[in-house]
Amino acid sequence: MHIEINLQQKTNLFALEEIRSLPLMLNSPLYRNYPAMKLGLRRPIDFFSRKLCVIAAELLQTGQNQNWTITAPPYYHLPSAANLLSRRTHALLLQQGFILSLNELRHNPQQQSAIRSQEEFRTYYDYSKNNLDQRIAERQRAQQTLDTNGLIPRFKDRSVIIINDINVTGTQQYFMQQTLDQLQVHECFWLYLFNVEKALAKRHPEVEHQINHSQIKDLDSYAKILANEQTEHTARCISRLFNENIGDFRYLIASLNKETRTRLYQLAQQEGRYSSSIFDEKMQLLATGHDHIHAS
């Protein structure tokens, strides 16, 4: 089934930066902070949330509807960076005296299935490389696992601020809008860090991948984020760990203390994607830790 994704209208769509041409200015603060934000490091989460808070505050001050809530894309167990951004932005708005709720969308954890093949994992991990048809297929699949039970009273007749990191093809927004319409919201306001101009996105849907991988390229930099107490490990942070080849995976695990390894093991278990046989060796390394690594 063909789906026409149309985000030509810019009504109620806001972004810290509009990407209209290449090359990207990867040395600017917005781009430099983006990769660590995606992994869940608190400092860049706070950096972007403060900027989003300025836009959100203006909306709250000028909007006619007084019944507001804030949300982000749905997740299973581990949050995405967008979920962390929405939580922090909500907290900052409350500190400023604004009245609005935070309502998170969740996928049904019982419908989260383990990844069964390397090909399936590559599609999941390298989502930012996917073309439009692949993105639509993935979002359609995810849409079927949304748990909307009891959400209508939390969203009905409310103006909703939806926070996300980047809008490339508009696929995720398209399917989220369907969900929010079903929840009978009053109006939607989409807040992004980056919005890619539609014609550019059509020619270069991989632009998101370039931003994601513009920093934190070496193992030691990534290991510091894994070990940092100020990191709330996102789904992407964990998937990057499991994407490493076994040699680099061993190197990373050996650099972490026991508490961090235990935490990562628990998160991987809870997320549910890594319970199939293709991840057995890596899960065992996380569970047994440093001594086992050096003994083997």
Domains and CATH numbers, the chain: 13-216 (3.40.50)
Contact, 98 vs 60, CB < 8 A?
yes
3 state SS of 194:
strand
- Mind listing the pLDDT tens digit of every residue in the chain (296 residues)? 444 455 444 469 999 999 999 999 999 999 999 999 999 999 999 999 999 999 999 999 987 778 999 999 999 999 999 999 999 999 999 999 999 999 999 988 776 778 888 888 887 777 666 677 777 777 667 777 788 889 999 999 999 999 999 999 898 999 999 999 999 999 999 999 999 999 998 888 889 999 999 999 999 999 999 999 999 999 999 999 999 999 999 999 999 999 999 999 999 999 989 999 999 999 999 998 644 444 44
In the block, residue with structure tokens 């993105």: 135
Q: What's the chain's Rg over C-alpha atoms?
A: 19
Burial class (CB in 10 A: 0-12, 13-18, 19+), 186: middle
pTM of the complete model beyond 0.75: yes
Contact, 112 vs 273, CB < 8 A?
yes
CA 206/CA 153 separation, integer angstroms? 38
Q: Residue 69: CB partners within 8 Å, gap ≥ 6?
A: 100, 101, 102, 103, 154, 155, 158, 159, 160, 161
Sheet holding 13-19, edge to edge: 13-19, 187-196, 159-167, 68-71, 101-102
CA 193/CA 15 separation, integer angstroms? 5
CA 63/CA 16 separation, integer angstroms? 20
**Nearest by Cα to 65 from 192, 172, 163, 156:** 156
Q: Residue 39: CB partners within 8 Å, gap ≥ 6?
A: 81, 216, 222, 225, 231, 233, 234, 236, 237, 240
Quote the Cα angle for 225-102-32, to 5°: 30
